[in-house]
Amino acid sequence: MNITSKIRVRAVSSALAVVIVTGTPGGHRWGQAAYAAGQPTIVEIKAKKYEFSPNEITLKKGEPAVLRLTSEDRTHGFLVKPLNIDADIKPGQVTEIAVTPGLAGEYIVICDHYCGTGHGNMKMKLTVLP
């Protein structure tokens, strides 16, 4: 299988580290080395018109997590501006976002990739506990 994975490392503030990994299912796991140290919580999230499932997740401040995103139909977006997360979710691919939230709070994740008539309501809640 061709390796089409990409790793984008965001400019990090001291409060937050975000790494976005995109790969094909079954492909080489680029993220493995990066995650080995932290034993992150894995959170699977599926996207489809016009919802995320689950539509609510909870993380803990300072604890590393990996959001593993897949799409069941078409390309969706996954945007949480305050946490510096901005990813595309493409069908047939797994998009992994390694995040260690630095700020507690309640955030709204929105799909920022136009996906049809219900697009404007495609949201989920991400809570970061202190």
Could you list the residues that contact Cu ion (CB under 5 A)? 111, 115, 119, 122
Least gap, CB of 88 to Cu ion (angstroms):
11
Q: How far is the CB of 74 from Cu ion (least distance, A)?
A: 9
User: Which of residues 19 and 126 has its CB atom nearest to Cu ion in the complex?
Assistant: 126
90, 16 Cβ separation under 8 angstroms: no
Beta strand pairing call for 41-48 and 65-71:
parallel
CB of 27 to Cu ion, least distance (A): 25
Closer CB to Cu ion, 59 or 111, in the complex: 111
User: Going edge to edge, which strands form the sheet with 123-129?
Assistant: 56-60, 123-129, 105-110, 76-80, 85-89
CB closer to Cu ion, 18 vs 122: 122
Task: Output the six-digit token pair for 97.
Answer: 């976002």
